[in-house]
Amino acid sequence: MDRIHRGTPTPQDLLLPEGKLIRTTRGGASALKQLLLDLKKYSFSGYVRTVRNASGGRSEGVVLLRGGNPEASLHLKGDTRLKGRSALKQVWQDSYDESCSLELHARVDMDNLLHEYVDSVLERPTKVVKKSKVPQPVDREEVERRLTTWKAKGYDVSSVETVLPGDPTALTVAFLSLNEAIRRAEAVEETLGRIDVKGFESRAEAIRRKLKDALKHPDIDAEVESLRDAIEGRRQIETRRELEQVREKDSQERTRKVLQLVMKQQAMQPEAPTHSSDDVARVLEGPAPTRDEATNLIQQFTFDAFVVSEGSRFAHAAAVAVAKQPGTAYNPLVVASGPGLGKTHLLHAIGNDVRARSKDLKVLCTSGPAFFGEFLEAKERGTLPVFRARVRAADCLLLDDVQTVTGRPDIQEEILHTFEDLLASDKQVVLASDRAPKAIPDFDERLVSRLESGVVATIQPPSKEARVAILRRRASDARADVSDDVLTYIADLVEDNVRELGGAFNRVVAFSSLMGRPITRDLAKEVLREVNGEAPREGILSVEDAERSLTPGRSYLVEEDRPDGAFRLFQRAFERGKAGLVITRTNPKRIRERFTLEADRVLWLTDRESKEAPTIPPALERIVYEIEDFMSKKPGAAVLLDGLEYLVSNNSFEAVLKFARRLVDTMSESQSVFLMSLGPATLREQELKMLEREMDVVRFG
């Protein structure tokens, strides 16, 4: 489904003031629960908004919070509007969907909101009204002792010191206010201490300084959540870059395997056409894209070459409108999507179409990294005026991968001023990003506001029918005779990346051409099975080898549909180390029925409470603490973590990858053995490979 954002008066349907959007996360089995628990710790005031797009339509919900407590709730789906408890129940249900977006908004007038939505207040059990008590005057000596303690911790206590010798009532009020503010500050500091702030140290330190003046910064909790969101966003960007690098290496490896397959079959079939390795490589790689030197546009990326699907229909329509009337239709236009879905194609198609319509219009296409590099070079050489004149002379500026300038305020400032100049002159600005501007971490709020004053159109992964249509177009362009049966087979192999889909198709067509064989389903299976690496890979341990070679300080990724083999390996490691910790998605009672499990501690990985077994929620920091604490008490222990896919569904793959790396590093400096059980089919191929690069792989059949 296409998404469009016009301006910033969101939330759109429930018409609440946006305040400051400080955090965005995705849904999951315990996503809302964990978020509300975090907010309660430091008495957060603001609201959580949920947006879910499903086949049944779009729904939006809001939970209003004051002092960390849910006060009211609204939910809207179509013409159905719920309030109070029934709304909260529906919001909670929506939040379980991984496609649901959870937004945290702060700096809004909660008193006014709760007054406006008084009919949505959550009912609480009726309590006997007691006569309110007037606070008893505090003991001055006790106040002085507390002030000494707080001052030693660095807190500003001047608000109490100034009234210490005076009126007891004024002293009591000042003391109780400061006491509550410091309580909240300590809760915020505890939360901050659990966040890995690497790369954001100065920002975290600025927050810590503000915490010492607790009364002056009552909304400091919002800054912590904003920092957490920036860190998570940066981590996602870094992981996406890494995924792209893995994909690129995979593509090169698959090309190499097709080359080997062709050479192997040529050797087996002397009557088949003979080709040199260079000939094969040229066919596999295809013609290199041609770029226009003046504009940097890839000339093959046109609107005619773009196959429109339901998920890209609006983005395509907006791009065409911009190309027809640059500077007037949608300005600025932001096209957002994950990798390989066509945002770069549309960006270049706009430029090519503008150039085709008018040779007088100047088009400049660049990327975030290129803009960044040229800006720094011009700054060092003292040629910034020349750089600015060249960029701002464009009638249509196309900027790809704008999310890569995150965390660089100088570059963002330059981009902002560039856009302001261009837009003021009715010149067109188009950007491509892997996410909407407001979801880019460490992105200047002025830049976000400017970009979202135009139109943000997202591209969703194509449906199966759309993937087949894309392949049919490629077959037509290649003048290749490919049946729908073969196209459907290839379309089923790659679901979320059009670039990889095209790569798989090209390899089949290239092999067919080189070997002089017709393209059939069997040929496609033969090529793609070899290329996709279904044969056993190097570096993967057999079960027997793993049992013999479990080594202290090593981490093992155990790939199996059920964790039976992992428990078998755990038992072997336990016998050597005489200590063990198990964190498992399976109820411990069922495990003990199936295995003779010896372990010092077995925790059930779940977000529910249990009277029969100790539990641990899918909170990554909590799990890290549990494992590291156990290892400190039991050196040489065996540790088994079963349920990685459950952790991914409740957090994100990016967060779980970082979590796994931290544990692998911890294990490498210990005498412990770490086993992580995973059903390989539950992750995407590139995600699985990234985990496999971190650990020794054990595969059970």
Please give the distance of CA 81 from its chain centroid, rounded to a whole number: 30
Residue 128 placed within a domain:
no
Q: What is the pLDDT of residue 543?
A: 55
Q: What is the pLDDT of residue 246?
A: 66
Higher pLDDT, 558 or 701: 558
Q: Percent of the chain at pLDDT above 70? A: 82
Lowest average pLDDT, out of 85-94, 264-273, 418-427, goes to 264-273
- Does the pLDDT value for residue 150 go beyond 80? yes
Q: What is the mean pLDDT of residues 324-339?
A: 88
Co-location of 559 and 436 in the same domain: no
Q: What is the pLDDT of residue 5?
A: 39
Alpha-helical (H) ranges within 325-442 are 343-357, 368-381, 384-392, 409-424
Of the three residues 409, 426, 458, the one that is the final residue of a domain is: 458
Q: What is the pLDDT of residue 272?
A: 59
Q: What is the pLDDT of residue 273?
A: 60
Of the three residues 85, 120, 155, the one that is the final residue of a domain is: 120
Co-location of 555 and 439 in the same domain: no
Higher pLDDT, 525 or 229: 525
Co-location of 527 and 608 in the same domain: no
Co-location of 266 and 334 in the same domain: no
Confidence of residue 515 (pLDDT cuts 50, 70, 90): confident
Sign of CA dihedral 462, 466, 472, 477: negative
Confidence of residue 223 (pLDDT cuts 50, 70, 90): confident
Confidence of residue 220 (pLDDT cuts 50, 70, 90): confident
Residue 230 placed within a domain:
no
- Does the pLDDT value for residue 214 go beyond 50? yes
Q: What is the pLDDT of residue 215?
A: 87
The rounded mean pLDDT for the chain is 81
Q: Which two tokens stand for residue 260?
A: 């080997």
Co-location of 579 and 510 in the same domain: no
User: What does 588-644 look like in DSSP terms, one character per residue?
Assistant: HHHHHHHS----SEEEEE-SS--SSS-EE-S-HHHHHHHHHHHHHHSTT-EEEEE-H
Higher pLDDT, 443 or 11: 443
Of the three residues 501, 531, 561, the one that is the final residue of a domain is: 531
Q: What is the pLDDT of residue 534?
A: 40
Q: What is the total residue count of the chain?
A: 701
Q: What is the pLDDT of residue 276?
A: 57
Q: What is the mean pLDDT of residues 115-129?
A: 71
Q: What is the pLDDT of residue 3?
A: 37
Where do we find the tokens 């040199």? 276
Q: Which two tokens stand for residue 245?
A: 């690098």
Other Cβ atoms closer than 10 A to 216: 11
Co-location of 454 and 468 in the same domain: no
Residue 258 placed within a domain:
yes
Distances (CA, A) of 621 to 145, 205, 455, 659: 35, 21, 38, 8
**Count of structural domains, the chain:** 5
Q: What is the mean pLDDT of residues 423-451?
A: 87
Which residues constitute the domain of residue 561? 540-699
Residue 228 placed within a domain:
no
Higher pLDDT, 358 or 544: 358
Lowest average pLDDT, out of 133-147, 260-274, 609-623, 659-673, goes to 260-274
Q: Percent of the chain at pLDDT above 90? A: 18
The predicted model scores a pTM of 0.52
Distances (CA, A) of 364 to 23, 356, 359, 372: 34, 14, 13, 15
Q: What is the mean pLDDT of residues 656-680?
A: 87
Co-location of 181 and 264 in the same domain: no
User: What does 234-249 look like in DSSP terms, one character per residue?
Assistant: HHHHHHHHHHHHHHHH
Co-location of 571 and 520 in the same domain: no
Co-location of 255 and 372 in the same domain: no
Co-location of 443 and 475 in the same domain: no
Co-location of 329 and 200 in the same domain: no
Crossing angle, helix 168-193 and helix 220-268, to 10 degrees? Answer: 10
- Does the pLDDT value for residue 295 go beyond 80? yes
Residue 227 placed within a domain:
no
Nearest by Cα to 166 from 134, 143, 135, 133: 143
Residue 243 placed within a domain:
no
Higher pLDDT, 222 or 522: 522
Q: Which two tokens stand for residue 41?
A: 């710790």
Output the domain CATH number for residue 510. Answer: 1.10.8.60
> Three-state DSSP class for 146?
helix
Q: What is the mean pLDDT of residues 330-355?
A: 91
- Does the pLDDT value for residue 397 go beyond 70? yes
Residue 125 placed within a domain:
no
Amino acid at 40: K
Q: Cis before residue 588, ω within 30 degrees of 0?
A: no
- Does the pLDDT value for residue 228 go beyond 80? no
Q: What is the mean pLDDT of residues 595-603?
A: 74
- Does the pLDDT value for residue 11 go beyond 60? no
Higher pLDDT, 338 or 361: 361
Confidence of residue 269 (pLDDT cuts 50, 70, 90): low
Residue 157 placed within a domain:
yes
Co-location of 468 and 454 in the same domain: no
The long-range contacts involving 387-392, CB below 8 angstroms and separated by at least 24 positions, are 388/418, 390/364, 391/364, 391/418, 392/418, 392/421, 392/422
Output the domain CATH number for residue 326. Answer: 3.40.50.300
Spatial contact of 337 and 343, defined as CB atoms under 8 Å apart: yes
Query: What span, in angstroms and rounded, lies between the C-alpha atoms of 28 and 100?
Result: 8
Q: What is the pLDDT of residue 199?
A: 73
Spatial contact of 107 and 47, defined as CB atoms under 8 Å apart: no
Kindly list the strands in the beta sheet with 615-616, ordered across the sheet, starting from the edge strand earlier in the chain: 540-541, 696-699, 555-559, 673-678, 638-642, 580-584, 601-605, 615-616
Q: What is the mean pLDDT of residues 295-312?
A: 88
